Amino acid sequence: MLAFAATISYLPNMTKPPKNTSGRGRRDLTVKVKTARGRKLSSKLWLERQLNDPYVQRARAEGYRGRAAYKIMELDDKYHFLVPGARVVDLGCAPGGWLQIAAPRVNADGSRSGKPQGRLIGLDLQEVDAVPGAEIHVLDFLSEGADDRVKEWLGGPADVVMSDMAASSSGHKQTDHLRIISLCEAAAELAFDVLAEGGTFVAKVLAGGAEGELQKLLKQRFDKVSNVKPGASRSDSSEKFVVAQGYRRPRDD
């Protein structure tokens, strides 16, 4: 299978956290969460971070299903792969934040012209609430024949395959790194099967040293491969995103 290692670039913070506009003398409103009896410290810290995360707050205010929406927003603002009429598949699409951003940008919801263009397919192992303009299926993309079903639903090859998937955390950093690289490898393999010539692959990985083979393979299959940490990614997170553009299909495909 595959893996990455390229120079990491950092996007300008195109989706800036909300500014404090309430005026002089505003008190610090950082939320502190008391540790209830039986609640683990890790759960308390996670909840406290969520309550104080400006992107979480902004997502709620703007109707997005999570802070991850701003990650794909920033990536597309820089690399421009979600264009009107594009056929896009989102692997592991729950809870649907990436679909919310993609639908109007590819005009799958008809918001740009009144008439829908392109196709937007979301795949996940669980049911996901409907997103206007997106067609969501419960499907394990690792299953036999998944690539053929994706192309059938899209009505042809994909212009973009994107994935924000992350394996369940084991609590062991290196194990988690290997798991997410394996997921990314599998997502890339599906992308090789369904992408049209010139297509784009976007996926989340964790920095940690096991990306070399995947990066090498992507560079063999795409004209340009970039590794990016969007401003919406938490500074203490090792996540980054690979954006591989200009897919070159093997001659025997």
pLDDT of 103 above 70: yes
Residue 30: its pLDDT value, please? 37
Angle at 239 between CA 235 and CA 243, to 5 degrees: 120
φ and ψ of 206, to 5 deg: -115, 130
For residue 205, tell me if it sits in a domain: yes
Name the phi and psi angles at 240, rounded to 5.
-150, 175
Mean pLDDT value across the chain: 80
The answer as to whether 49 is a domain residue is no
Q: Name which residue leads in pLDDT, 36 or 212.
A: 212
Residue 59 domain-assigned (yes or no): no
Least confident of 3-12, 78-87, 175-184: 3-12
At position 158, the amino acid (one-letter code) is A
Q: How many domains, the chain?
A: 1
Determine, yes or no, domain membership for 227.
yes
Question: Catalytic one among 19, 78, 151, 204?
Answer: 204
**Domain contains 101:** yes
User: Which residues constitute the domain of residue 176?
Assistant: 8-17+66-247
- Check whether 90 is labelled as a binding-site residue: no
Q: How much is the pTM?
A: 0.77
Q: Is 204 a catalytic residue?
A: yes
Confirm whether residue 252 is marked as ligand binding. no
Question: What are the CA-CA distances from residue 225 to residues 7, 31, 188, 236, 241 (Å)?
Answer: 10, 40, 13, 24, 10
Residue 131: burial class (beta carbons within 10 Å; 0-12, 13-18, 19+): buried
For 57-71, 121-135, 144-158, which range has the lowest pLDDT when averaged over its residues? Answer: 57-71
Answer whether residue 111 is part of any domain: yes
CB distance 137 to 123 below 8 Å: yes
* 53 annotated as belonging to a binding site for a ligand: no
Question: How far apart, in whole angstroms, are the C-alpha atoms of residue 132 and residue 153?
Answer: 16
Sheet strands side by side (includes 87-91)? 8-10, 222-229, 239-247, 195-206, 158-163, 87-91, 119-124, 135-138
The verdict on residue 27 lying in a domain is no
Q: What is the pLDDT of residues 218-249, one digit of tens each?
A: 999 999 999 999 988 877 777 889 999 999 98
Report whether 159 belongs to an annotated binding site. Answer: no
Q: How far is Cα 89 from Cα 57, in angstroms, rounded to an integer?
A: 27
Distance CA 153, CA 134 (A): 11
Q: Was 96 annotated as part of a binding site?
A: yes
Residue with tokens 């995360």: 53
Give a yes or no: residue 56 inside a domain: no
Query: 141: domain CATH number?
Result: 3.40.50.150
Q: Vertex 202, ends 117 and 70: CA angle to 5°?
A: 80
Q: From CA 197, how far away is CA 27, in angstroms rounded?
A: 55
Selected residue with higher pLDDT from 23 and 174:
174
